[in-house]
């Protein structure tokens, strides 16, 4: 380990590993630190197809193709009445190879990305925690790190990347984190063996299923070795208040989702239930002099459309490009390091809007799509993650007035 690096990346998840690999590949000295020991468990298993391009740039596509990860060709939605949408097959919209993606076991996936960063030349340390980011005036100049079993030490760096996920080290320290008041959600999940899968290519699909009163929804994500990740998401107050253990709550909600109960008829629970609370937030600043946020440390919307890993890797890639350019021209100011942020925000806001539509209970996606079949291509683009082009949000020209009307009607009924 050196005393000074061009770039110090905190957090060995998809966001941090992407940034570290690309900056190191550009021949800049890079240190990537992860507090846990890789491979380590993480939630967030379903990828969006557009992750393809970052995987390709990182040079790990062949590894993905030869892995045992379940191939994901489609997504489907089950409504609160139990009606199942036709699968959204990404290849029907775009026949290229990039329309197929994967359902990944994160321990294996993140380890592959961590090792890849090392292959590209980054110094990669797991079991090493960043205790604090060091600032001189307003500029980040390094971090105090501690390897397991060793004394803390200071490492200087020209740029510090916060990719600490939901720990959001810098955003918490600098008071940049803002919750979405309408997204105070909780998730409870576990793993099942032998859940029923659809035949053919749709067997690898993510299926999103509403419960009968639309107060919660389940994800169904098929993984390798016959395991399926199943989780329920709902408002914190609804899901947690006076409801018993996570297992009790999960079971209660399952009864309200016959489409899932049928799929689990012959399945066996193979894990304990895990719980995550209030994971949705944004940050009010994304870069400063000598520092930049990527991935969940930048913000997280909601798990429903499986956008988290994609956003982490895409933001990691953009951050890397501005760091590489900044190091080349000798400018690692806030202005330089945040050059990618506006465009990134312009694209991700379409997913935020889609999340809002899903949680507007008075609005029916099915009815809207029947009335506007011309938007199917645009909607599939959003589900693929193709959100960074002019016109990506065209569907909202028709959807937003209907959403507003649905919300207004709901307000009037309540009064
Ligand atoms: C319930 C739920 C379900 C989800 N489902 C999906 C899904 O299906 N698909 C999807 O794409 N996304 C999903 N997500 C989101 C996904 O988990 C995240 O968006 C993604 O992991 C973000 O990657 P990241 O690299 O930013 O952070 P992370 O993957 O969280 O990595 C951050 C790393 O930083 C390390 N770290 C933290 N603090 C320190 C420190 N001080 N020093 C050193 N290291 C540190 C952590 O140990 C961690 O390994 C889900 C999220 C939730 C809450």
Q: Write the pLDDT tens digit of every residue in 340-399.
A: 999 999 999 999 999 999 999 888 888 899 999 999 999 999 999 999 999 999 999 999
Q: Which atom of ligand 1 is nearest to the CA of 166?
A: 30
Domains of the chain in start order, with CATH, are 4-68+104-178+282-344 (3.50.50.60), 185-277 (3.30.9.100), 360-414 (no CATH)
User: Looking at residue 415, what is its pLDDT?
Assistant: 61
Among 374, 366, 376, smallest CA distance to 402 is for 366
How far, in Å, from the CA of 322 to the mean position of ligand 1? 22
Structure confidence at residue 410 (pLDDT): 77
In this predicted structure, what is the pLDDT of residue 270? Answer: 98
- Give the residue whose CA is nearest to atom 52 of ligand 1: 303
Which residue stretches of the chain have pLDDT < 70?
414-415
Closest atom of ligand 1 to 36 CA is 47
User: Which helix (H) or strand (E) is 314 found in, with range?
Assistant: helix 308-329
Give the global pTM.
0.97
State the pLDDT at residue 6: 98
The pLDDT value recorded for residue 86 is 87
**What confidence score (pLDDT) does residue 365 get?**
85
Q: Is the CB of 106 under 6 A from ligand 1?
A: no
CA 144 to each of CA 152, 344, 409: distance values in angstroms, whole numbers, following the listed order: 6, 30, 54
C-alpha dihedral (296, 120, 37, 32), degrees to nearest 10: -60
Contact 127, 148 (CB under 8 A): yes
């Amino acid at each position: 380990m050196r005393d000074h690096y061009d770039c110090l990346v905190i957090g060995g998840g998809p966001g941090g590993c992407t940034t570290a690999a690309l900056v190191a590949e550009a021949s800049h000295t890079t240190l990537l630190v992860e507090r846990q020991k890789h491979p380590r468990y993480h939630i967030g298993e379903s990828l969006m197809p557009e992750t393809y391009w970052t995987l390709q740039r990182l040079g790990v596509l062949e590894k993905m193709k030869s892995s045992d990860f379940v191939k994901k060709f489609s997504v489907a939605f089950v409504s609160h009445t139990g009606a199942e949408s036709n699968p959204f097959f990404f290849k029907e919209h775009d026949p290229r190879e990039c329309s197929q993606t994967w359902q990944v076991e994160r321990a294996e996936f993140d380890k592959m990305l961590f090792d890849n960063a090392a292959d590209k030349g980054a110094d990669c340390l797991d079991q090493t925690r960043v205790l604090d980011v060091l600032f001189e005036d307003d500029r980040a100049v390094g971090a105090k790190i501690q390897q397991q079993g060793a004394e803390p030490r200071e490492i200087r760096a020209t740029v510090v990347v916060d990719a600490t996920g939901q720990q959001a080290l810098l955003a918490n320290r600098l008071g940049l984190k803002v919750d979405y008041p309408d997204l105070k959600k909780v998730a409870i999940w576990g793993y099942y063996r032998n859940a029923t899968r659809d035949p053919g290519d749709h067997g690898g699909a993510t299926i999103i299923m509403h419960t009968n009163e639309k107060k919660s929804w389940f994800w169904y994500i098929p993984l390798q070795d016959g395991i399926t990740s199943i989780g329920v998401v709902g408002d914190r107050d609804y899901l947690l208040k006076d409801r018993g253990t996570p297992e009790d709550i999960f079971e209660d909600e399952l009864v309200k989702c016959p489409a899932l109960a049928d799929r689990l008829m012959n399945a066996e629970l193979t894990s304990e239930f895990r719980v995550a609370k209030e994971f949705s937030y944004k940050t009010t600043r994304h870069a400063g002099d000598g520092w930049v946020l990527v991935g969940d440390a930048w913000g997280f919307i909601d798990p429903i459309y499986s956008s988290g890993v994609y956003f982490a890797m895409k933001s990691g890639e953009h951050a890397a490009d501005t760091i590489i350019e900044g190091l080349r021209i000798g400018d690692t100011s806030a202005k330089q390091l945040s050059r990618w942020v506006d465009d990134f925000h312009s694209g991700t806001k379409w997913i935020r809007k889609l999340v809002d539509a899903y949680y507007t209970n008075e609005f029916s996606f099915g009815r809207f799509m029947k009335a506007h079949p011309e938007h199917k291509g645009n909607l599939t683009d959003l589900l693929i993650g193709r959100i960074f082009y002019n016109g990506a949000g065209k569907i909202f020209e028709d959807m937003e007035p209907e959403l507003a009307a649905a919300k207004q009607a709901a307000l009037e009924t309540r009064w």
